[in-house]
Structure 1
Amino acid sequence: MKTYIALLRGINVSGQKKIKMTQLRELLGKEFNEVQTYIQSGNVIMSSELSSESEVSSQIEKLIENAYGYNVKVLTYTVDDLKKRFSENPYRDKDTKNLYFTFLSENKSELPEHKVSSKKGKHEEITLIDDVLYMYAGDGYGKTKLTNNFFEAVLNLNATTRNYRTVSKLLEMAKEL
């Protein structure tokens, strides 16, 4: 049995795609073991006999579609994979309350610099490593124009963003499973 961390994109944001975490745990508990959630934004830790992250994502997407009628994209990682991505954060020397991870549905080798630089704020830094965009948003994520939706549009893929604290907490919770 493997432990997985699933990041659901776009649930419980601005009143859209509402799913109560108690209901989500109950729903996922039909197919997965030891299901835990963290905050309302769709962070799930679970164990499963399924052998790949893509199988887990697909199963969660189907369960949500069947139960709620929502098309929710899910990015799933093993604990080691998420730990690796977390440790590759190039902004370890920065204030963690302004650090963000945008997880991409596929690897990208480069960003369209001309599009990014025109939106980038004075106190923002961004680094792409494989399928994660690491961002330091010095003025806070609420003020950046380099949003999850922006990156989905310019990179033509699915993405979901989490702050440093959330990723750290998910890894901590997964250790206890």
Structure 2
Amino acid sequence: MRTHVALLRGINVGGSGKVPMAELRRLLGEEFDDVATYIASGNVVLSTDRDDGTVATTVAEVLRTGFAVPRPVVVLGRDEYAAAVDANPFPQVTEPKELHAVFRAAPPGDDERARIDAAVAAERAKGGAGEAAVVGRVVYLHLPGGIGRSELGARLSARTRAADEGGTARNWATVLKLRDLLG
């Protein structure tokens, strides 16, 4: 059996997408083994023999039927998730709230990469220090003021999520905690 992380987009954020974690664990436990959640923002670790795509479809179906919350789900196996953590292009950043990873269902295409580059160039032109880098299907954001105050962060997180309806951002503290939960 393989261990996976399922990242649910827009769960328990801003008063919408209400999903009680105990009930989510119970319903997912009917489909998967070793189900655990981390904080209430849609982070699930589980075990199954199913492939990532089937896991994502099943988790999305549980959200839709069990909670009337249709949301995209991004799933990565333990090895792919660990590789994404190791591929962090900003290892010098030690403050977790300044580093975010936007996990996507698919790698950004050429048009999306061009929009990311343009957003970073606009950040530079305004004297901002934010940075973005794409590695595989993860967009890493170094936002020295934090995501809440960053024009670059707002622009990129909205664009990268909208591009494939499956991207979801996590701060680096959450990224590392999920890696630890994957074992």
Aligned-partner SS, 2:174: helix
From 111, 126, 129, the equivalent of 1:123 is 129
Give ranges in structure 1 of 5+ residues lacking alignment: none
Aligned pair 1:159/2:167, yes or no? yes
From 124, 133, 138, the equivalent of 1:132 is 138
Return structure 1 stretches of 4+ with deviation > 6 angstroms. none
Deviation at 1:157, TM superposition (A): 4.2
* 8 Å contact kept, 1:57–1:74: yes
Question: 112-121 or 67-76: which moved more?
Answer: 112-121
Deviation at 1:149, TM superposition (A): 1.8
* 8 Å contact kept, 1:106–1:157: no
Give ranges in structure 2 of 5+ residues lacking alignment: none
Q: How many residues align?
A: 173
Q: Which residue in the other structure is 1:87 paired with?
A: 86
Q: Which residue in the other structure is 1:60 paired with?
A: 59
Q: Which residue in the other structure is 1:111 paired with?
A: 114
* Letter paired with 1:30: E
Deviation at 1:130, TM superposition (A): 1.8
Question: 105-114 or 10-19: which moved more?
Answer: 105-114
Deviation at 1:116, TM superposition (A): 4.6
Percentage of identical aligned residues: 29
TM-score of the two chains, using structure 1 as the length reference: 0.91
Q: Which residue in the other structure is 1:75 paired with?
A: 74
CA distance in 1, matches of 2:95, 2:23: 31
Aligned-partner SS, 1:133: strand
- The structure where helix makes up a greater share of residues is 2
Q: Which residue in the other structure is 1:38 paired with?
A: 38
The CA RMSD over aligned residues, in Å, is: 1.7
* Letter paired with 1:66: T
Aligned pair 1:142/2:168, yes or no? no
* 8 Å contact kept, 2:132–2:142: yes
